């Protein structure tokens, strides 16, 4: 293989959203062997850089599930929503008191201050066992953030809107609404945990974003090994020469992969796999 393409949350990162020093060392060794390391994630650039140590030798990264692509932290491809679509989605989110985060290619998450009160009510609910640790960390950091809450948003530059709630019934109702409306809105809908979902522009995914990077490096999909754990990784699994699902992934992901890691993301699963099969 000439490259590895890796999801982040649930794959490269542990359940607290952290990357182990062991994995950082493995990535350096893969790079030294001439194998390019690429991240392909639902995270946007700022979220990627916040958790990726500078010493990790990334050849590039696909952000927001394919909506933006970066080489050497330089934006080379971007797909954004129509302004009217974002306005409609956020109006309905507000009516249903759904906490949201809007993202552009190169700025952190933003939420309107006008929607802070109901959002914090949701964050203050008892924490259910189904909420992942990194999701609770996100909520706690958001509540205290000085940059998250803004007076206005430039709707013309949005490439992803993320939603989360501690209330499973509420987030499930919201997901069902988006599922019924996604074709009219021109959206792709992803759900990476029981408590969240996100929308991006339809027709773009991790595979289309990854192709931009592979064309730049003159690498064929057959020479790429993909790793992931969620439904937004399936496009990579279909396109790449080999695919590996993380232990504990949903059955749909396990059934689509060529093999499965022996250990989960919290048990150094990717590091163990790469050491065993490549190093």
User: Is residue 85 helix, strand or coil?
Assistant: helix
Task: Name the residue among 79, 77, 40, 37 with its Cα closest to residue 62.
Answer: 40
pTM to 2 decimal places: 0.81
pLDDT tens for each residue of the chain, 279 residues long: 999 999 999 999 998 889 999 999 999 999 999 999 999 998 889 889 989 999 999 999 999 889 899 998 899 999 999 999 999 999 999 999 999 999 988 888 999 999 999 999 999 999 999 998 889 999 999 999 989 999 999 999 999 999 999 999 999 999 999 999 999 999 989 888 899 999 988 888 999 999 999 999 999 999 999 999 998 899 999 999 999 999 999 999 999 999 999 999 999 999 999 999 999
Strand partners, 49: none
The angle, 0 to 180 degrees and rounded to 10, between the axes of the packed helices 269-277 and 21-32 is: 30
Backbone angle region of 236, left / alpha / beta, with phi > 0 → left and psi within -120 to 50 → alpha = alpha
d(CA 75, CA 70): 5
Asked if 30 and 279 count as a contact pair (C-beta separation under 8 A), the reply is yes
CB 262 within 8 A of CB 273: yes
Burial tier of 57 (Cβ tally within 10 Å: 0-12, 13-18, 19+): middle
DSSP strand pairing (36-40 vs 3-6): parallel
- Candidates 2, 42, 31; CA nearest to 214 is 2
First to last CA, the chain: 13
């Amino acid at each position: 293989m000439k490259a590895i393409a890796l999801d982040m949350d649930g794959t490269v990162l542990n359940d607290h959203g952290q990357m182990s020093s062991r994995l950082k060392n493995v990535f350096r060794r893969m790079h030294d062997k001439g194998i390019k390391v690429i991240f392909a994630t639902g995270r946007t650039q700022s979220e990627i850089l916040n958790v990726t140590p500078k010493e990790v030798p990334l050849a590039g990264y696909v952000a927001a599930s394919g909506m933006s692509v970066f080489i050497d932290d330089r934006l080379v491809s971007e797909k954004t929503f129509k302004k009217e679509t974002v306005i409609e989605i956020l109006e309905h989110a507000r009516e249903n008191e759904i906490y949201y985060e809007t993202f552009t290619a190169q700025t952190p998450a933003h939420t309107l201050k006008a929607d802070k009160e109901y959002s914090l009510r949701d964050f203050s609910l008892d924490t259910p066992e189904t909420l992942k640790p990194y999701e609770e960390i996100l909520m706690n950091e958001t509540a205290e953030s000085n940059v998250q809450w803004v007076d206005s948003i430039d709707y013309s530059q949005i490439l992803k809107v993320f939603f989360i709630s501690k209330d499973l019934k509420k987030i499930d109702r919201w997901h069902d609404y988006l599922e019924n409306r996604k074709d009219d809105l021109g959206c792709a809908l992803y759900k990476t945990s029981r408590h969240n979902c996100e929308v991006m522009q339809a027709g773009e995914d991790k595979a289309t974003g990854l192709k931009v990077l592979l064309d730049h490096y003159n690498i064929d999909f057959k020479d790429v090994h993909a790793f992931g754990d969620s439904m937004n990784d399936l496009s990579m699994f279909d396109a790449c020469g080999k695919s590996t699902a993380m232990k504990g992934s949903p059955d749909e992901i396990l059934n689509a992969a060529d093999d499965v890691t022996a250990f989960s993301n919290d048990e150094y699963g990717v590091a163990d796999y790469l050491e065993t099969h490549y190093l």
